[in-house]
Amino acid sequence: MKVSRREFVRKSGLGSAALTIGGTALGFNAKSYSQIKGANDRIRIAVVGVNSRGKAHIGAISKCSNISIGYICDVDTRVAEVAAKMAEETTKERPKIQLDFRKLIEEKDLDLVTIATPEHWHAHMTIMAVKAGKNVYVEKPCAHNLRGGEMLAELAKKYPKTVIQMGVQSRSGLRNIQGIKDIQDGLIGDIYMANAWYVNERKTIGIGKKAPVPDWLNWDLWQGPAPREDYKDNVVHYNWHWFRKWGTGEMGNNAIHQLDCCLWALGVDYPELVTSYGGRFHFKDDWEFCDTQVSTYKYRDGKQIIWEGRSCNPFRIYEASNGVIFSGTKGTIKILPEDDYYTAYDLSGKIIRQTDDKINEAQPDLMGLSTMGLTEKHFINTMETIRGKELAHAPISKGVKGNALCLLGNIAQKLGRTLKVDPTSGKILDDKEADKMASRQYEPGWEPVV
C-alpha cells in the first residue's frame, strides 16, 4: 500500500522538526519553515466574513510562511473591498472578491477556508467547505445549535484527513499549554473545580426599525440558512450576536474561551447536569439573551465548572476581565486564556510558579513564537497541520464539546430549569422541550447535510 509522506506524518503525529511542550506540538515561524523539507507546499486561502474578526485572520495569515490569500468573501461589498486591499498590502498579492460562498468553494485552487461570519453560518459553511474538499478554520462558536455541533462531529469522522480547526486560539498559547500541563502533572494536587468569568461594558442596541436594505448588502445571502425576516437597522454589523436567530449571546461569543480552557484542564467532556440563571437587567431593548448569567456544570466524577458573565458591568474579577481559577487539593492556578498568562499558588496563597518561568527554564523560545499573538500562533498551527507536520491544537472533535457547554447553558437559562445530559454524547435527556431547542428551523432548501 502506497502512503504519501504527508499522510504518514499526519497519522503518526510526528514532525521532522517539531518543537513540543507538554506533549503538544507548537508552530514554526516563517524563518524556520524554509528549513523544513516539504514546507514548500503553498497553501491557498479564502477568508470569509471580513467586517471584524476576518481582518484579524488576514493579519495572522500574513505571518505564516508560503501562503496565498487568493479570495475574500463577504456579502458586504464595502468591507470586501477594504479587506482585499488589506490582504494585498500584507501579502503583496491582490485576492479575488467573491460575494457568494457557494460559488467560492467551487474554486479548484483553494486549500483552506477561514470563517469569521455571523454564527448562524459557521457549521453550515464548514460542512459545505469540507464536502467540497477544503480544509477549514472556523471561528468560535463552531455551531449555532447543538445539532449543528453533532453534525460537525459526524463530519470530522467522515472526512478524517481534512483539517477542521476551531478558533479558540488560547489552545496555541505557550503559557496556556504549560499552565494546563502543570495542572495535569499535579502541581496543585487533585483538581475538582473551575471558576470562570467574563465581564464587559456593552451599551444598548436600542429598538430596531424596519429599513430599506443598504445597496452594499446582500441581505438574503447574509441570512443564508436562517429563516427570512425584514431588515432592521440595529442588526448589521455585530449586534446579531444578541439575537437568537443568528447568535448565541455572550456564552458563544466569549464564555467559550474560558469553558474550553476548563474542559482542557479538567480532562472532561460532557456534564451530567447543567443549570443557568440570569436575565437582561441593564437595558430594555432588542437584546434577546442575558447580560448577566451564571452557568454551572456538574460531572459524574464530582468535578464542576462555574461560569459567570456580566456583559454590561465591567467590574473585574481578580483584576482581570476574563479568566479561570482552578482549585485543587494542594493549591490554585489562575489562567487568563486570552492573555496567555498563568499563576500557581499553594494553599497559603504563596506564588509557586508564574507566567512563563518554567517555559524559560525547560525550553528556550527558539522560534520567536513568544512575540506573536495567540491568533497568529493558532494559524501557524493550522498551516502546519495541513502540511502534515503538527496535530491541530483545537480540532473540531474537541471544539464541539466546549461549544455544547455554551449552548446547554443558554437552553437551561431560557427554560429556567436544570438539564440532564448524557455525559457520553452530550444529548439532553428526558426533556422534550429542551431537546427541541437543540436544533433550529432552517430556511427551506438550506437544511445542512453531512
Q: Strands of 146-284 (E only): list them.
A: 164-167, 191-199, 273-279
- Establish if 443 belongs to a structural domain: no
Domain with residue 424: its CATH number is: 3.30.360.10
Cell of 127: 460542512
Same structural domain, 110 and 234: no
- Residue 402 phi/psi, 5-degree rounding, is -65, -35
Same structural domain, 69 and 144: yes
- Establish if 371 belongs to a structural domain: no
Contact partners, residue 88, CB within 8 Å, separation at least 6:
94, 95
**Burial readout 256-287 (b: 16 or more C-beta within 10 A, e: otherwise):** bbbbbbbbbbbebbbbbbbbbebebebeebbb
**237 prior amide bond cis, ω within 30:** yes
Residue carrying C-alpha cell 502506497: 2
**125-157 confidence digits (pLDDT tens):** 999 999 999 999 999 999 999 999 999 999 999
- Establish if 213 belongs to a structural domain: no
Same structural domain, 115 and 195: no
Distance of alpha carbon 141 from alpha carbon 91, whole angstroms? 28
Cell of 139: 471561528
Same structural domain, 138 and 263: no
- Check if the beta carbon of residue 288 is closer than 8 Å to that of residue 244: yes
- Establish if 360 belongs to a structural domain: yes
CA 48 to chain centre: 15
Same structural domain, 357 and 431: yes
- Check if the beta carbon of residue 252 is closer than 8 Å to that of residue 407: yes
Q: Which residues pair with 308 in a beta bridge?
A: 197, 294
- Establish if 450 belongs to a structural domain: no
Cell of 49: 466574513
Domain region containing 102 = 5-170+377-394
Its sign, for the CA torsion 344, 348, 349, 353, is: negative
Q: Environment class of residue 319 by beta-carbon count within 10 Å: exposed (0-12), middle (13-18) or buried (19+)?
A: exposed
- Establish if 163 belongs to a structural domain: yes
pLDDT at 43: 98
pLDDT at 356: 65
**13-61 confidence digits (pLDDT tens):** 333 333 333 334 344 344 343 333 344 589 999 999 999 999 999 999 9
Distance of alpha carbon 355 from alpha carbon 207, whole angstroms? 44
Same structural domain, 15 and 162: yes
- Establish if 193 belongs to a structural domain: yes
Same structural domain, 184 and 118: no
**329-363 confidence digits (pLDDT tens):** 999 999 999 999 999 999 999 999 988 665 554 44
- Establish if 449 belongs to a structural domain: no
Same structural domain, 108 and 249: no
Same structural domain, 123 and 179: no
pLDDT at 355: 81
Query: Over its length of 450 residues, how does the chain's per-residue pLDDT go in tens digits?
Result: 344 434 433 443 333 333 333 334 344 344 343 333 344 589 999 999 999 999 999 999 999 999 999 999 999 999 999 999 999 999 999 999 999 999 999 999 999 999 999 999 999 999 999 999 999 999 999 999 999 999 999 999 999 999 999 999 999 999 999 999 999 999 999 999 999 999 999 999 999 999 999 999 999 999 999 999 999 999 999 999 999 999 999 999 999 999 999 999 999 999 999 999 999 999 999 999 999 999 999 999 999 999 999 999 999 999 999 999 999 999 999 999 999 999 999 999 999 998 866 555 444 444 456 568 999 999 999 999 999 999 999 999 999 999 999 999 999 999 999 999 999 999 999 999 999 999 999 999 999 999
Cell of 226: 436562517
Same structural domain, 145 and 258: no
Domain count, the chain: 2
Same structural domain, 90 and 199: no
Domain with residue 128: its CATH number is: 3.40.50.720
pLDDT at 362: 45
Same structural domain, 251 and 332: yes
Closest C-alpha among 422, 423, 420, 450 to residue 434: 420
Distance of alpha carbon 416 from alpha carbon 252, whole angstroms? 19
